[in-house]
Amino acid sequence: MPPKKGSMATSRIATLLSSAHAFPGKAHTHGLTGAAQALVILHELINTNRSCVVLCPNDDIARDLTLDIESLSTALFEGKPRAIHLPTWEQSPYTSVTPAIRTRLARLGALEHTLSPDLPQVFVSTLAATWQTTLPKEIFLEKSTLLHPEKNIEDRETLAVRLTDAGYLRVDTVEDPGTFAIRGEIVDVFPAHADSPLRIELLGDSVERLRFFDPQSQRTVSSPLSKDHPCRVPPAREVLINAKTHALIRERLKSFADDAEISRAIRDPILSAVQVGIYPAYSDAWAPFAYEKPATFWDYLPSERIIFWVDAPACHEEFSRFLEQQRSFAAEMGTHGLIIPSVDVLFQHPPLEDGHFLSKRTLLCLDRIELTDLNSLRENTEAASHTRPLIQVNTDLSSGTRHSLGDL
């Protein structure tokens, strides 16, 4: 159930968003924290029916805000809009520690959700995660497998080749995301973005039934999918090493290693490990090697997207610090026996000046403190030396007031 129309907090949120839309530049508000930020974002999505991106300083804040949005969406709007977290890697790609599989799958799940017709959706992330290179959208779609009940596939082995080309690993029994198995007329596949594996029951070359099942009990966990609701199985990796990409990856790895004067003792074992369907532990960072024009998360989104910033100054500061850390790690990657693209190639980030499309699409900056005009402060150094930020809490939505979230 949506909040009551007469709610004072709701009317103030509507006024805030209306003012933000009317403002010619980036609108700022301050003092909103936690669930209050989530409520403002949800109201915008409900009123406009457009997806949005929320940029946070770091993954901890992004994860907490995602949970707040999901909780309020379930309580107030019957579970729609959906909140999707696009995570940053926990470890630097320039170290020998690979990203957790849950992070790799969460990133693929977010890319899959950008293609979903279910609107609106809110993607919560960081600048580092959104600017990290990935597979182009057209390759994502090309390597996805769309399954329709009662429609034909070419044959089981052709399906197996498609799944392998899309980064899936063939196993005896499906238990983990990114794997598939074939047993007679049954093909089990665990889509990278799904909570449960999918069972494809074939009758000859026709899909007789599609259903999700529990890999432990083998019991069905959902009703069979109807022919009006096809299921898309997306790629299982952001970097695909298949017949189309492996030669380019080898060529660019060798060229990069030679230009960087990386020794053959490091280069040659890595080149030998690049084989079709084989994924070295460090290959997840090879998007600039694998694709002619690697994409970023922003390339998957529609042009009419809306952007919210949570503490925009901190977002920029954290991203700058992140890039500095990556450059420091990159300078030492040879000691780990790695060949990874340079930082500015792996994270394709343009300058974030006012003319950039992130600024043009920004609706509202949810600032932690009230921001002042830094240009005017620079013009008066004496004033700047005696100026301190004024922190003012938005009492309209703070806990314990008559307009708090509890009133909703």
Interval 342-360: pLDDT, tens:
999 999 987 755 556 677 7
Of 90, 128, 82, 78, the residue nearest 109 (C-alpha):
82
Does 50 score more than 50 pLDDT? yes
Average pLDDT, the chain: 84
Of 318, 303, 252, 333, the residue nearest 51 (C-alpha):
303
Does 112 score more than 90 pLDDT? yes
Interval 222-263: pLDDT, tens:
777 766 677 889 999 999 999 999 999 999 999 999 999 999
Q: What is the mean pLDDT of residues 47-56?
A: 91
Please tell me the predicted confidence (pLDDT) of residue 9.
60
- Flag the least confident range among 59-73, 296-310, 342-356: 342-356
Interval 170-192: pLDDT, tens:
999 999 999 999 998 899 999 98
- Cα→Cα distances 242→153, 160, 250, Å: 21, 13, 12
Please tell me the predicted confidence (pLDDT) of residue 371.
55
Q: Which two tokens stand for residue 348?
A: 């394709």
H or E, element range at 131: helix 127-131
Of 94, 74, 90, 92, the residue nearest 82 (C-alpha):
74
What does pTM read for this prediction? 0.85
Can you name the CATH fold of 8-132+296-407? Rossmann fold (3.40.50)
Q: By the 8 A CB rule, do 190 and 109 touch?
A: no
Q: By the 8 A CB rule, do 151 and 206 touch?
A: yes
Interval 81-95: pLDDT, tens:
889 999 999 999 999
Q: How far is CA 317 from the centre of its chain?
A: 20
407 DSSP assignment: G
- E-strand ranges in 286-379 read 306-310, 362-367
Does 70 score more than 70 pLDDT? yes
Distance CA 80, CA 1 (A): 11
228 vs 213: which has the higher pLDDT: 213
367 vs 291: which has the higher pLDDT: 291
CATH for 145-233, options being 3.20.20.60, 3.30.720.110, 3.40.50.300, 3.30.2060.10: 3.30.2060.10
Amino acid sitting at position 39: L
Q: What is the mean pLDDT of residues 95-101?
A: 88
- Long-range contacts at 342-349 (CB < 8 A, ≥ 24 apart): 345/133, 345/288, 346/93, 346/132, 346/133, 346/285, 346/287, 346/288, 347/128, 347/131, 347/132, 347/133, 347/323, 348/131, 348/133, 348/294, 348/296, 349/127, 349/131, 349/319, 349/323
Please tell me the predicted confidence (pLDDT) of residue 276.
92
Q: By the 8 A CB rule, do 285 and 341 touch?
A: yes
Per this entry, what is the length of the chain?
A: 408
Does 373 score more than 80 pLDDT? no
Distance CA 67, CA 159 (A): 37
Please tell me the predicted confidence (pLDDT) of residue 116.
83
Q: Write down the residue that tokens 């909040």 correspond to.
A: 3
User: For the chain, what are the domain ranges?
Assistant: 8-132+296-407, 145-233, 246-290
Please tell me the predicted confidence (pLDDT) of residue 142.
96
Please tell me the predicted confidence (pLDDT) of residue 123.
96
Please tell me the predicted confidence (pLDDT) of residue 398.
43
Does 396 score more than 60 pLDDT? no
Share of the chain above pLDDT 90, in %: 55
